[in-house]
Structures are given as C-alpha cells and as structure tokens.
Structure 1
Amino acid sequence: MNRYSLNQATTKYWPLEDVVKASANADLEWIGLWREPIQEYGEERAAKLVKDAGLKVSSLCRGGFFTATDPAERQAKIADNRRAIDEAAILGTPVLVLVSGGLPPGSRDIDGARAMISDGLAELAPYAEERGVTLAIEALHPMFASDRCVVSSLAGALDLAEQFPASQVGVIVDAYHLWWDADIYRQIARAGDRIVSYQVSDWTVPLPADNLLGRGMMGDGAIELRRLREACDDAGYDGPIEVEIFNQELWDAPGQEVFDLAYARYQEHVV
C-alpha cells in the first residue's frame, strides 16, 4: 500500500485539507493534485500542508492543450504550461500530467494537431527539466480525440515522448483510457523507464450522457487492473499508483466514504 495515491479528483468536492488528513491518517505516502483547486488554495500553502502531513505529491494535473491555430492563443497556452511546470516544482512533484489537446475548432487535420503537440513539447521540455519536472503524456481513449486529446494510444504517446530524453518527457499508463488496446502490453514493455505514473479506475457500461464522467470504481467494470499493474512493474515502474475517478455519484457521496471504498477496492483489485 506504500504506492497508493488518491488523486483529489476522485473526491472533487472534498476540501483539500480533508483529503490530506484522511491520507495521512491512513499512513499513505502520496496524494495526487489538480491545478485549479491548488491555485485557489495557494501553491505554497498547499505544498506546506502536504509536507507537514508527511505526504508527497505523486502528480499535478494538468498541463497540455497545445492545439491552437492562432499564434497568440498558442503562445498563451505555452505560457500557461510554463506556469504549470512552476506549480509542480513548488509542490515538489516530478510529474506534470499533460492532456495534449484535441482538434482545433473547425479543423480535421489530426496529423497537424499532433505536430503542434510535438512542437509544444520541444518548447517546454528543457524548461521542465531545469525545474525537476517530467512532462507526462497521457493518451486518452479515442472517443476524446476530437475535443480533448488526439493522442489515443500508448504507442502514440511513446512516439512523441521518444523524441526527447526520458528525463524530460514520459508517459502515463491510465487503465481507463488504454485497457482496450490489443497492443497495450507490448507498448508498456516498450515504455520502460518512461512510465511515470499508473492510474486506475474502471470501465463500466452504460456510459453516462457526459462520457467524461464514465469512470467507475475499481472492481465495478471490465478492466484487468492487476494485470496492467504487473505489466508496469515488469517494465520497471515502481512508483505511486493513483486512483483517479471522474464520477458524479462518487463526487456527491461523503468524501470519507469514497476514500474508504477506493482504499479497499485498490487492495482487492490492484495490489
């Protein structure tokens, strides 16, 4: 259980102080954080809260969204990613998760969108390394390709990451987004030391009307979570494993109840 990390997105409406307290009370070592609530709380203040509780930040989510055709908008996105890198450094996490961006409005040029991501990584990767932060490309399920992320497979994420040193750009293995891929285990082995996070939830059906909120609690769906974890282990990844679930019913439930359920399901289905 020393690898377990509850990503605060799983208990979206639970105050940061409560998530940190629950994690510390459970003798956890890690917690996953999101930029928006941390910005509201204050980065320096959040860093102190986490450190004083004896925790470390497994990742900060999120940067990315590089795909823009307007030069001014593109530079604004690069500037925001620099801020995200700085925030990760303040929090002491070496992992900034990137949701790289979908098609620009009105565009059908998916190759061009992927080229924009490569260009954005090239501009930011040296700065991230100077700050002790690895840019972590997260491939999203293909249903999100048009509006959120044109990187839809671990192979595609690695094709981008391998243009840069592993110290600058790595990849996320998110079970929800990648479990369906027949090539996933070969790609995990290929990823090796570029894996900087393994994230778990489950794939349940039917999906809700808002498919962004379709992640289920571990054990409620179709994903071989332990098998994926073992593959990441075999590839050399021994870092934190984040429980990250976007689910309205869980968000509406009491935070401690969700925390306890996630902790138990992780032990049952991931360890």
Structure 2
Amino acid sequence: MAGLDRFSLNQETIRQWSLPELADGCVAAGVRHVGLWRAPVQEYGVERAAKLMRSAGLSVSSLCRGGFLTAAAPAERAAALDDNRAALDEAAALGTGTLVLVCGGLPEGDRDPAGARERIADAVAELLPHAEERGVRMAVEPLHPMFASDRCVVSTLGQALGIAERFPAERVGVVVDTYHLWWDDTVPALIDRAGAAGRIAAFQLADWITPLPEGVLLGRGQLGDGCVDLRGFRERVDAAGYRGPVEVEIFNPALWSRDGAEVLAETRERYRRLVL
C-alpha cells in the first residue's frame, strides 16, 4: 500500500455516522480501511457488522479496545480477562489482526504504576493462547502521561515495548499514536527499535491543540490544527518498515457536529497535504 491507499478512517473521527453510514461514506469517498470500536459494533451486532464491512469491500485496520488490565482484585482481574478474550473473538470475527489495548490506570488507592504495568504483562501472558487461537495481535498503546492515573499507566513507547518484547512479535506489538507521543524526544529511536523487531502493529494520527479543551480526552485536533510533525512521524514509521494502514483517530465534538461527508473530505485532503 502507498499514498492515499493507506488512509484508514477510525470511526470515532466521524462518530455521528452509524455503521451503515460509515460503510457508505467510505465507499463513496474511495476509502478502503476503517478502524472500529467495540461498543458501536456490539450494538449493531458483531457478525452483522463483519458482513457489512465485507460487503462494502472495507478492511478493518484495528478494533479498539481491549485492555484495562491493571486490577489486582481477583474477581475484577478475571472479569477483565474474560472481556479481553471476548474482544479477541470480536476482532477475529471482523477480520482484523489488531486489537488495540488501552491498558488501564491505577486502581483506587494504588500508587505503584510499575506494579500495575507488571500486572498488565501478566495479563497479556494469560491472553496469549487465546490470541494465538484467534490469529489476532494485541497492540499495546502508550497514552500521554496525563492519562496515567485513570486510563493507562503505559505512558511511553519505551514502556509499551517493555511489555510487548516479552512476547512473540506476531502476537504482541505496539501502537504509534502521534497525539500521545509527539512530545517525547526518545520516540524516533524507539520507533526504529519497534520497527526492526516488527512490533509496529498500528499507526494513528491526530494533532495536539492548545489551549487544551475541557475534557482532554475529547481534545484531539484535526490534522494540521496543532503542533505535531505529522509527516515526520509518517516518514519515521515508514523508514522503520511499517507498511500498513494509517488510521486517523480524532475525538473532537466540533467534528462530530458537522456533516460527516464534509469532515471525511477535509480529513483526506489534510492527510494528502500534511502526511504524504
């Protein structure tokens, strides 16, 4: 794949579209890849969603999300493992080889991020046989440090690789997401390291805008609206050997309030101009 053929639309970028609208809109725009999220897929029906994507000729670049694997209490841990096994089943049914893991924050009262990361690694080890059976790779996604307490104690690409590298590369990789990693000057060398070992499972784009809006989770910027060197990231990831889809994943209420086809056309044009 090359050029615009690699463009993948993560469905959260145009959250206002239903799954059928997503399929129709992508076909009309010539988009070949989509990233899906579990909640809307479950609401629509997993098998029904898989059939819809196949009928539209769309490949599913990733499914988000598994993870939240930091619980220490046995019952909570067991429930999280069961949910991740279900997520692996859903990914396989949708025909994607990539399940993105948002690994989880600190449990209430916990002040040990390193210990929480060890519990994540232990959980990935337990999930590995199921991932192998389903032919799905788990992709550990580092999130910006501002999310460490409640969403993800894996804050750097180095920490993500520290977990992934304990397991076979074809089953556990990492996500390179510009929104979460743009600030870290160790990232270029870590992308090289991940690429050399075949660990880059997904590459996602969003921009960083300031001042941060209320509710930073929904504060990702449209491509070109912030300070991230998007082309520089793409060139580095390409040089590291990644040849897969490039997902645009933007959580932004301003985009969700607009016409979906207009947002997709704008996003594709910015991708062409700022990323390629």
TM bracket, shorter-chain basis: over 0.9
d(CA) in 1 for partners of 2:154 and 2:118?
A: 11
Gaps of 5+ in 2: none
* Aligned: 1:186 with 2:189: yes
Deviation digits for residues 181-228 of structure 1 (CA, Å, limit 9, x no counterpart): 011100000001110111001000011110101100000100001111
- In structure 1, the partner of 2:202 is 197
**TM-score normalised by structure 2 residue count:** 0.97
Return the letter of the residue paired with 2:249: E
d(CA) in 1 for partners of 2:132 and 2:100?
A: 14
* Aligned: 1:236 with 2:241: yes
- In structure 1, the partner of 2:119 is 116
d(CA) in 2 for partners of 1:122 and 1:217?
A: 36
d(CA) in 1 for partners of 2:149 and 2:9?
A: 29
Gaps of 5+ in 1: none
* Aligned: 1:45 with 2:38: no
- In structure 2, the partner of 1:148 is 151
- In structure 1, the partner of 2:255 is 250
d(CA) in 2 for partners of 1:64 and 1:47?
A: 22
Aligned residue pair count: 271
* Aligned: 1:4 with 2:7: yes
- In structure 1, the partner of 2:166 is 163
Percent identical pairs in the alignment equals: 58
**TM-score normalised by structure 1 residue count:** 0.99
**1:153: Cα distance to partner?**
0.6
Does the CA-based 8 Å contact 1:9-1:245 persist in structure 2?
yes
Q: 1:76-95 alignment to 2 at 5 Å?
A: 76-95=79-98
d(CA) in 2 for partners of 1:183 and 1:172?
A: 15
The secondary structure found in structure 2 opposite 1:102 is coil
The secondary structure found in structure 2 opposite 1:75 is helix
- In structure 2, the partner of 1:270 is 275
d(CA) in 1 for partners of 2:65 and 2:26?
A: 21
- In structure 1, the partner of 2:59 is 56
**1:27: Cα distance to partner?**
2.1
The secondary structure found in structure 2 opposite 1:191 is helix
**Large movers: runs of 4+ above 2 Å:** none
**1:26: Cα distance to partner?**
2.0
**1:233: Cα distance to partner?**
0.5
d(CA) in 2 for partners of 1:128 and 1:200?
A: 26
